[in-house]
A = this chain, B = another copy of it.
């Protein structure tokens, strides 16, 4: 079993040759960093992920957390891994030095987290949720809330969760019923039930900080009446020391197909005992605040999906190089030795597709992380604004594309292994099961599609879209070799058609029933996503061609040739599949819209 989680050579290429992450060190926030410190922290992440996370990935899947007397029992290795992650400073990695952080760029932290998800998505879930919840308190919490909770979350004494979903409402947050009643003591009394709360109970830390959406009595209907509350498992004094148990309790564990190491919980608030909640920011602004966390989480989901896809690719690549079976069609001698299956063209197809999906997904997510860095730290205010707009536009793609194609990669990994891949003795079936969560949580991919076509594209007079096209233009023009120019041409032509169809959809949205225009949003997401990832492959191809021209060592030449071949795969085999989306969108195909429930 390979211990490569994410190929370090590839990561270095993406960070330094495609994205110029090193340039970030000229910014004030990162000026104590340099490429060596980035690489050192990546090296540490890779090592801890291999030594502490990968080691119990299968065990935590087979021996999942148990609900015993209202508490959770889990493998001791999960806590060891969580503690190693915290102690190495990763929870606080991107935070200010004064908060105990390392002031690392999002790009570098995202890369680090890729190793942990690739190694063990279940265990990685706990610190990831914690850092996202902490960020919510850092940005929207008041000083006291920050002082009480932040240091303990960032040090790994407390974990965090996001508690949105309710049994009867699912994705429809407008319909949540959890209520918050103000008291004279300043806190609120929370009452209600939440479901699918990841990490909602665990046996890792002394406290858990739930970020809970609830409606204050008398609030407006729908999403405009949602407020955000901090609800700790144990109430705490101002220093964050536990005082007494708060009225939030574990109603049950949900048993999942995969991602079994992360508890998925049903929580009840205020059922057996009063449940204190502390309002974050202003009343009724909760969804807006939560969206910051959700957007971060969505990018994290995309990255995780790409990383699990990547891990399966690494496994199946190793297997394909080692496993001897059969001969090429042209070999007529049945006594010729069997060949490694990587020699079969169809196996190479399945590996190339995985490479295109995994490395393309990684490129997309690192690009997103870089936009977060630019949004927060670019010296030019205009560029900061633009990066934010671009990121906003791309968030549904960064969430959905890898979570569609990462599982596809894992499916192909199983197929490369053949019968062995279907057994639980090999690791790829777990990758496939784990990754299946990603198109569902943090907003299903169907919801991402509605977000993209119903909102993000048009936001701000489509300024995000214009910025995107400008960015793409830079890379289209940077294509100088013959093959890169061909690919740039394909991309540019597809883009033009997509723009045309977008304009026509925009017109319809203004004049017609939105139900009709949005009926095929899934096609639009696929179209848009494939264009973006084709662009990511063009960027990689441009960089590879440039490097290849001066590369000497065989290893280096092979690496760049591989990048170019994967780019070719994406342009020959993947990008053209959007032709179908273009037709359906252009025709505003009404097959699904007009289907009636009683016809099924």
Contact = CB atoms under 8 A, between A and B. Distances in A.
Interface of A: 165, 168-172, 174-175, 195-196, 221-224, 254-258, 264, 317, 321, 323-330, 334-335, 338, 340, 342-349, 351-352, 355, 411, 414-415, 418-419, 421-425, 429, 432-433, 436-437, 439-441, 444-446, 449-450, 454, 513-515, 518-522, 554, 558-559, 561-562, 565, 568-569, 572-573, 576-577, 579-580, 583-584, 589, 591-600
Contacts of A419: 165, 170, 195-196, 440-441
In the A-B complex, list the 7 residue pairs whose CB atoms are closest, starting with the nearest: A222-B334, A562-B599, A345-B519, A172-B326, A349-B592, A329-B514, A257-B429
A197 to B, nearest CB: 11
A2 to B, nearest CB: 12
A446 B320 CA distance: 15
A321 B597 contact: yes
Given A514-B329, A580-B577, A256 B424 contact: yes
Given A175-B338, A335-B222, A419-B165, A330 B254 contact: no
B515 A330 contact: yes
Contacts of A572: 584, 589, 591
A327 B325 CA distance: 54
A568 B325 CA distance: 43
B345 A518 contact: yes
Contacts of A423: 254-257, 264
A565 B598 CA distance: 12
Given A254-B423, A522-B346, A577-B580, A418 B170 contact: yes
Contacts of A594: 565
Contact of A255 (B174, B254, B424): B424
Contacts of A171: 325-326, 418
A576 B582 CA distance: 11
A18 to B, nearest CB: 18
A450 B577 contact: no
A348 B515 CA distance: 13
Nearest to A522: B346
A172 B436 CA distance: 32
Contacts of A584: 572-573
Contact of A348 (B321, B346, B595): B595
B345 A558 contact: no
Nearest to A518: B329
Contact of A576 (B444, B450, B583): B583
Contacts of A342: 597, 600
A355 to B, nearest CB: 7
B174 A334 contact: yes
Given A222-B334, A583-B576, A595 B518 contact: no
A317 B600 contact: yes
Nearest to A559: B599
Contacts of A519: 345-346, 349
A576 B586 CA distance: 14
9 contacts: A168-B324, A172-B338, A254-B425, A256-B422, A328-B515, A348-B595, A418-B444, A558-B599, A562-B595
B418 A596 contact: no
B172 A325 contact: yes
Contacts of A329: 450, 454, 514-515, 518
Which of A328, A334, A592 has the most chain B CB atoms inside 10 A of its CB? Answer: A592
